Amino acid sequence: MTAEKMFFKRLTMFIALAACSAAMNLAAAFAPADVIVYTRWKYVRNPQTGEVVAKGAFHHESTEVGAEEVRRYFTANGLSCLVTDDPAVFTSDAMKKARCILLCVTNHELFETDAQREAFYKFVENGGGLVATHSASANERGKQRFRDFLGGAFERHYVAHQSVPFTHADRTHPAIACLPADYVWADDEIYLNHPDEKVRPLLILDWKDVLPKSRKSDKWGCPKIGGHVLEWCKTYGKGRIFYTALGHNPKDWAKMEWQMHLLEATRWAMGERPDRVQKATPVAIARRTIDGAECVKDGKTVWKFNIANRESKPFVHPLSLPDGRCITTVRPKDHPWHLGLWFCWKFINGLNYWEPRGPVMQNLFPDGMTVVKDVAIAPKGGACNVSLKMWYGPRAEPGKVLLDEDRNIAFSAPDEKGGYTISSRHVFTARAQVTLDCRRPVGYGGFSLRMAPLVRGFKASGEGGTPNPDRNVAGPEGMKSVTYTDPATGHGVTLRVVKSISTERIYTWASHEFANPVPMYEKPLTLKPGEKLELEYEVKVF
């Protein structure tokens, strides 16, 4: 071999080694996060050689699916997540910020080195949290240390999948308290783990609820409690550990109740939730959805903000009273362009942005186009803040913008009685000279509330005036709010004008349960290029 060929061979080897070293360093660089979502499943150590090989472990499809659902839901609720299957994370700087490890349907060996194993145990012992799901009880198989640490280990599972009623559950634990009292986990491969006596049982499957073909033996049950412990919690040093045997099916990880359950378990493990709650009060949770945001309490929707929809007009529906009844209606047959609680201009420069063109039942798009161009959603507990950037322009001239809007909608968390407030602030900026107007002689357009037929039995009242229940007219000048109250329950809704202009009047349509503060009810409003218009409204559900 010539010296030249030897030089290039060595150079090639050097480049390969450098690339390998760079890849190893890159793999070891983990972004800091509140929760480490760990997904390792495929590595099993060869008992003869000690070598780690990628064979012999069962792979649950819910591992990757579940990790992505956890990352999405936790992030939407203020917890940053790092999803990884690399055990080097436990000896990395990422653990300095981490507050909890979530074992997402992990299986078999968790670590590659003893240093990683010791770092994992020390993290929890020193006050970190651990949430372990489903086959995580099958990690570190045969190692008594891990069994003692977790509180139990995998023994077997039932022959058949079956449902799990949350009948025998400790409702003083925050992760259980957030679920409906009659909640039933629909279907799962039931893991039996034979926990030790030091754990606190949270969910028990009574022997009488076990399917007949799965009743092989009771030796895996807990005689003292008469069933199988499927969820438990315990402490380890200064840390908290939560385990659930559920989570086998990938589709279940997208369920709202399951996500709430894991989030509250994680917050408990991190010490954000008390060890016990005095009263098992359902917790209201606001979260992102595929098309906007919603708030859920006790398994029921409090409100839902639909941002991505076919009309491109953000609207709230359902808007629920504290007793669970929905007070809004969407796309009713008489006016299919009515969208619960929403904002829409009537005329901009004489062009209709309100009603559809042509046969209304065949075409839901008006001549004027409303466009949502940017969305920011920030849930926090049961509250949520949504910021929208929007523009308005003629449909026949795509890209032509007449009016910009910055909209901020703040949803408060439901109070003890179930009431909540929605504040809606709108700042419009004219791109060209625009004239805003409503329909005459009876005007409508702007912030609107189309209610369900159940409101027909409610009593209507106003602040600064009284709406006429027999006629479709605007309230008197100076009227700032309209309230609809159910005389039987005392529940209802108030729509209040917080900031508007002098030409504003509140229009009500009694026969259609419709309330609408119209900014330009008395006369049109013209804005010059660059001129702004600010409107603000409040909806109070009580």
H helices then E strands: how many in the chain?
6, 35
Record the pTM. 0.58
- How does residue 216 score in pLDDT terms, banded at 50, 70 and 90? low
What strands lie across the sheet with 532-541, from one edge to the other?
Answer: 368-380, 383-394, 403-411, 420-430, 532-541, 492-499, 481-485, 459-463
Query: Averaged over 405-415, what is the pLDDT?
Result: 97
> What are the angstrom distances between the C-alpha of 170 and each of 109, 173, 202, 245, 394?
31, 6, 5, 16, 58
Sequential DSSP letters for 415-428: -TTS-EEEEEEEEE
102-112 tens-digit pLDDT: 999 998 889 98
Q: What is the mean pLDDT of the chain?
A: 85
pLDDT at 129: 97
Q: Name the range with the highest mean pLDDT among 71-80, 293-302, 361-370, 425-434.
A: 425-434
The answer, yes or no, to whether the previous bond of 250 is cis (omega within 30 of 0) is no
Closest CA to 413 of 99, 181, 77: 77
Please check whether residue 515 is in contact with residue 418, taking contact to mean a CB–CB distance below 8 angstroms: no
Total number of residues shown for the chain: 542
Residue 290 confidence class, pLDDT cut points 50, 70, 90: confident
Q: What is the mean pLDDT of the segment spanning 358-375?
A: 79
Res. 214: pLDDT tops 60: no
CATH topology of domain 12-165+187-269: Rossmann fold (3.40.50)
Q: What is the pLDDT of residues 485-524, one digit of tens each?
A: 999 999 999 999 999 999 999 988 877 789 999 999 889 9
How large is the average pLDDT for residues 272-281?
78
pLDDT on residue 364: 67
For the stretch 1-39, pLDDT in tens is 444 444 334 434 433 433 343 333 334 479 999 999 999
**More confident position, 429 or 177:** 429
CA 451 to CA 454: how far, in whole Å?
A: 8
Sketch the domain layout of the chain as residue ranges: 12-165+187-269, 308-541
Per DSSP, the residues of 256-268 read HHHHHHHHHHHHH
